[in-house]
Amino acid sequence: MLNQKEAVYNAIQEVKTFEDGSKVDLTKDEKSTVKAMLVTGFEEGKIELKSEQDDLGKYVNGLINNWLRKDTRMNGGTTYTCKNPGSRTGQQDPMIKNLRLLKKREGITESDLAEIDVAIAARLSEIKPAKAAQTIDVSALPEEFQHLV
């Protein structure tokens, strides 16, 4: 059974000729061919699928885009960096999830929105891992800043 990364890489290699480390861009037709190959692989149990998906086609589209961005063999050899780090913070927390849903309801006043934002911020600070306290070497500081420690 193939893992998803290798399955995507192999399917793209079958459809398009490229050298490892180059930037791979798929045309609409190439992408739909790769998608069909991967969906078939999932349905036949040849590719690892950790959880059941409601819409396998939509899942595979995301999978292809993900590995085109992240796999250095197909993204021009660059290291992937998240565009919005921290944007997914709290997504697994039921309280934050429901507070965010509440914000989207009709009839919520500006003052209610402000209260909800405060509650979300408070909850995020609770679940955020605490940064390790760093000790400051006072002797390494200029004299005019030593009184601040």
pLDDT at 39: 96
**Average pLDDT, 10 consecutive residues per value, the chain (149 residues):** 95 95 96 97 94 93 96 93 76 90 92 94 80 74 85
**Phi–psi pair at 75, nearest 5 degrees:** -110, 20
pLDDT at 131: 54
Query: 56: alpha, beta or left, given left = phi > 0 and alpha = psi -120 to 50?
Result: alpha
Half-sphere exposure of 127 (CA within 13 A, CB side): 15
Q: Report how far residue 89's alpha carbon sits from residue 116's, in angstroms, rounded to the nearest whole number.
A: 16
pLDDT at 43: 94
pLDDT at 132: 52
Is there a contact between 119 and 93 (Cβ–Cβ < 8 Å)? no
pLDDT at 44: 94
Q: Report how far residue 86's alpha carbon sits from residue 89's, in angstroms, rounded to the nearest whole number.
A: 5
pTM score of the predicted model: 0.62
pLDDT at 129: 65
Q: Report how far residue 57's alpha carbon sits from residue 110's, in angstroms, rounded to the nearest whole number.
A: 40
